[in-house]
């Protein structure tokens, strides 16, 4: 049950991060379609942001190291997911979304591919999260009492 809860939380965190990135670019800046290198760069930025913010928050204890590593790995995962989507699952949308014309490929719309990338990687990162607080540098494990007393 805890596994499904973490999966759902990670998916939600990733969707929020990806949705914010996609909405900022498509609706805020007016980049209605991004393909090629720009699409990969935005996918990598989404993966890095989702990796940094999903899982253990970077502001808790010494978790910033873990967050940075997950963010760096998210760059590669974002590029991989964008490549997979644009190579093996491209399809045109029958309606206009966010100022893009009818028939635009879903992998060219930041409003659609950024939440997908953020959701998938956020769920993966959150599954890796154990939920235990990180140990501080000076903390020693407590000695166990012997059964004899």
Q: Specify the pLDDT at position 47.
A: 92
Mean pLDDT of 110-139: 78
- 7-61 per-position pLDDT tens digit: 888 889 889 998 898 888 878 887 777 778 888 999 999 999 999 888 788 888 7
pLDDT at residue 76, rounded to an integer: 94
**pLDDT value of position 134:** 54
Average pLDDT over residues 85-105: 76
What's the CA gap between 76 and 70, in Å, rounded?
A: 10
| pLDDT band for position 113 (cuts 50, 70, 90) | confident
Distances (CA, A) of 29 to 26, 103, 108, 113: 6, 21, 15, 16
Tokens 């996609």 sit at which residue?
22
Using CA atoms, how far apart are residues 43 and 114, in angstroms rounded to an integer?
Answer: 6
Buried b (16+ CB within 10 A) or exposed e, 57-93: ebeeeebeebbeebbebbbebbbebbeebbeeeeeeb
Higher pLDDT, 107 or 67: 67
Higher pLDDT, 3 or 120: 120
The pLDDT of residue 23: 87
Give me the chain's average pLDDT, please.
Answer: 82
């Amino acid at each position: 049950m805890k596994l499904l809860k973490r999966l759902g939380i990670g998916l939600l965190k990733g969707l929020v991060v990806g949705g914010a990135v996609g909405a900022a670019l498509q609706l805020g800046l007016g980049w209605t379609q991004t393909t090629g290198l720009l699409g990969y760069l935005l996918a990598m930025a989404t993966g890095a942001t989702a990796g940094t913010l999903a899982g253990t928050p970077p502001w808790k204890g010494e978790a910033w190291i873990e967050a940075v590593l997950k963010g760096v790995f998210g760059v590669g995962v974002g590029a991989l997911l964008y490549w997979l989507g644009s190579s093996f699952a491209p399809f045109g949308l029958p309606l206009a979304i966010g100022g893009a014309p009818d028939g635009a490929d879903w992998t060219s719309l930041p409003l659609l591919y950024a939440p997908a990338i953020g959701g998938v990687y956020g769920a993966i990162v959150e599954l890796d999260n154990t939920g235990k607080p990180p140990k501080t540098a000076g903390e020693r494990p407590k000695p166990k009492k012997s059964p004899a007393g």
